[in-house]
Amino acid sequence: MPSLLRAALASLLVCAPVAVAHAEEPLPPLPGAWSVAAQLRLRASLDDGVGILLPPRPLLATVLLDAESRRFGVSLLRPDELWLLQTGKLASDSNGQPRLAPDDLVEQGVVEAVCAELRNPPPCDAPLDSLALEVAESVARARIRGNVLLLAGRLRLVIVDPERPSLRIRVGVAYAGRGTQPAPDSAAALVAAR
């Protein structure tokens, strides 16, 4: 794997535990980085039933698969709007396909986008940087067919005001797309974003 990819993963996954306590089967060769044209769907709802379902939005997804550290990263970027980065453990299934187990999430812009679309109901009446974003579910899937990577995933998030924990907004994010060729240099974009 090119040193640039290793540097990107070291930067993005710095808090991730990568030590292996016992011998594991080596992962099959996996292309390290993919650039994926994807669609993002976002929905949100309040406890009183008011909600939104936004039309699909195109975005650039960058997928890093690092067999050496057994870690992966999926970056979902809409410039000047939002950024989501799922990271987690990388393994392979019985067919040699990557198996992704997300265990962390970094985001920018999700609270702002949801509150704006809902026209700032409580808890969005509080300073947005005071709101917490909790992860209720995080799933990612990748399949390699020839020179094509198929990518899909979903997130269930909850926006909550720590001062008023009964005020919550439930957020669903789903994405899917495909990349047609490995893009080793695309890791540089993740490093720059970080």
Q: What is the pLDDT along the chain (194 residues), one digit of tens a residue?
A: 334 434 544 455 544 444 433 345 666 666 678 899 999 999 999 987 789 999 999 998 999 998 888 999 999 998 888 899 999 999 988 888 999 999 999 999 999 999 999 999 999 999 999 999 999 999 999 999 988 999 999 999 999 999 999 999 999 999 999 997 655 554 444 444 44
pLDDT score of 48: 79
**Tally of CB atoms within 10 A around 187:** 26
Angular region, 119: left φ>0, alpha ψ -120 to 50, beta rest: left
* Residue 100 β-bridge partners: 90
pLDDT score of 9: 45
pLDDT score of 11: 58
Domain ranges of the chain: 30-193
pLDDT score of 194: 42
User: 193: part of which helix (H) or strand (E)?
Assistant: helix 187-193
Which distant-in-sequence residues (6+ apart) come within 8 Å of 185 by Cβ? 4, 33
Burial class (CB in 10 A: 0-12, 13-18, 19+), 162: exposed
Q: Is 141:88 a contact under the CB 8 Å cutoff?
A: no
Both tokens of 106, joined, read: 């970094």
pLDDT score of 168: 94
Closest-CA residue to 155 (of 132, 177, 136, 133): 136
